[in-house]
Amino acid sequence: MTSIPHTTTRRNVLIGATATAIPLLGTGAAHAATPRGGTGPHVGVLLYDGYSLLDPTGPAEILSRLPGATVTMVAQERGPVRTDTGDVAVLAERSIDEVDRLDVLLVPGAGNRGTVGAMNNDALLGWIRRVHRHTAWTTSVCTGSLVLAAAGLLDGRRATTYWASAAYLESTFDVTYLPRRYVRSGRIVTAAGVSAGLDMALYLASLIADEETARAIQLAVEYDPRPPFDSGDAAQAGPELKERALRLLAQSQV
Amino acid sequence: MTSIPHTTTRRNVLIGATATAIPLLGTGAAHAATPRGGTGPHVGVLLYDGYSLLDPTGPAEILSRLPGATVTMVAQERGPVRTDTGDVAVLAERSIDEVDRLDVLLVPGAGNRGTVGAMNNDALLGWIRRVHRHTAWTTSVCTGSLVLAAAGLLDGRRATTYWASAAYLESTFDVTYLPRRYVRSGRIVTAAGVSAGLDMALYLASLIADEETARAIQLAVEYDPRPPFDSGDAAQAGPELKERALRLLAQSQV
């Protein structure tokens, strides 16, 4: 029942739009000619227990396509770090003690438990403050902005966060909340909830490289979003939908 | 330099829009009342060497919010499975030998090396065929549709895939390519490149649960996409942008 294509054609399943692109899609030669990593930005993504899976992985997918980029998952200790659902774990390749310089720091958001845990983790907050001194861009997704705020990085700044955390952010910290997909304040860029990290990462790509590179990365990940529904904007959502959304989140989290 | 909010307020950083939502966002009680997992769909995500990070993680983020859902990362062997860039690894919690029944199977896409590897891996293809016999939904993201096709699941069907793989899909298999974000053919749903998995996952959520649940999940992950650029549609992209996109992909992959 299996279709068996010519193995020769299987050497390249990505037929480039242009002949010159095809050789690069071979596996060996392309990389001998264009070794990756180390020559571009070093992006560090902080993982902590209970983060939301898409928060770190969406931006990592996009920023990893920057020329020469290196993406490193960092946590308090090396090893698997579980998401808010407890079902999935991404491997932290380095501990915070092993990482002191990054071009880009990204702090993801989490459920209530994970966010509170990170906000009360002095080791993580101290590391964020130390690394931030030398970053080109310090960034967050979703409630990651609460972690940046707890580290003192957002004092007096404008920022965004997860829609359901906006009131907490403004009432707890000296921060002005802006209901945008991402907000730049100096070299700090905060993104709204979960999926907003994708939009922020493309913006960061244009700042780190240039707009043409960012546009090419958007095409590389075919980011032409067409959700089947139009209910992602909290400003347009009624109380029942908001309650249902928060209930689903709470019930899915451990 | 750190702002120190009252620890009492840190018990709940997600202030729900409605009073009734707030109790669910406490950490302990909510889960005693609403244990998660096992009562809803069992989603299995197949990981294989060289997959693209967002392909499995975007849909996993969304489908994990379905009531009672369980998401399991599956690979030929248990353990960390590296992405196409080699920088990041997600943990496979189960080997294919340990999983024979799934409500939803999701096969992510990969770079050229990873896709070709999976298409030529008879153990993976055989497992996909076996599991597919009993799934409610068998799905793919990006070049994952080539893996489904290599397993013989797309014979005579309409499907989508990564824009740069469309010609290969149609020329190699008995498949009609449709340039859409996702295509349903019976109980098989294929998504276009990388980020299209998010749109497909919301569609799947509406099929598995209902539209109101899918809309609530869209709000839960604040999926109100607003990319800073509008270059994600290959049909609108010129040859230079396509070449640049494919070059960035090739250079970022190991």
- Cβ(A12)–Cβ(B112) below 8 Å: yes
Rounded to whole angstroms, how far apart are CA atoms B82 and B75?
11
Q: Which residues in chain B are closer than 8 Å to A51, comparing Cβ atoms?
A: none
- Output the pTM of the full model: 0.90
- B230 domain residue, yes or no: no
At A50, the pLDDT band (50, 70, 90 cuts) reads: very high
Q: Could you give the number of structural domains in chain A? A: 1
- B24 domain residue, yes or no: no
Q: What is the pLDDT of residues B232-248, one digit of tens each?
A: 999 999 999 999 999 99
Q: What is the pLDDT of residues B113-171, one digit of tens each?
A: 999 999 999 999 999 999 999 999 999 999 999 999 999 999 999 999 999 999 999 99
- A232 domain residue, yes or no: no
| Exposure string for A200-229, b = 16+ CB within 10 A, e = fewer | bbbbbbbebbeeebbbbbbbbbbbbbebbb
Paired with B94 in beta bridges are B74
Q: Which of A10-14, A109-113, A234-238 comes out lowest in average pLDDT?
A: A10-14
- B242 domain residue, yes or no: no
Per-residue pLDDT, A39: 87
- A71 domain residue, yes or no: yes
Q: Which residues in chain B are closer than 8 Å to A228, comparing Cβ atoms?
A: 199, 202-203, 206, 214
Q: Which residue, among A168, A157, A197, A181, has the nearest Cα to A234 in the 3D structure?
A: A181
Query: Tell me, what CATH number does A129's domain have?
Result: 3.40.50.880
- The active-site residue out of B142, B146, B147, B196 is B142
ipTM of this complex prediction, to 2 decimal places: 0.90
| Exposure string for B148-171, b = 16+ CB within 10 A, e = fewer | bbbbbbbeebebbbbbbbbbbbee
Q: Under an 8 A CB cutoff, do A229 and B245 touch?
A: no
- Mutation test of the interface with chain B: which of A4, A14, A180, choosing the one with the most B Cβ atoms within 10 A? A14
- B61 domain residue, yes or no: yes
Q: Which residues in chain A are closer than 8 Å to B116, comparing Cβ atoms?
A: 10-11, 13
Q: Which domain holds residue A157?
A: 42-222
Nearest residue, CB atoms, B251 vs list A34, A203, A246: A34
Per-residue pLDDT, B12: 81
Average pLDDT over residues A85-112: 98
Q: Percent of chain A beyond pLDDT 90?
A: 85
pLDDT over 60 (residue A124): yes
- B185 domain residue, yes or no: yes
A5 shares contact with chain B (CB less than 8 Å): yes
Respond yes or no: is residue B142 known to be catalytic. Answer: yes
A243 shares contact with chain B (CB less than 8 Å): yes
- B251 domain residue, yes or no: no
- C-alpha triplet B236, B238, B242: angle, nearest 5°: 100
Question: Residues of chain B whose pLDDT is less than 50?
Answer: 1-8, 17-35
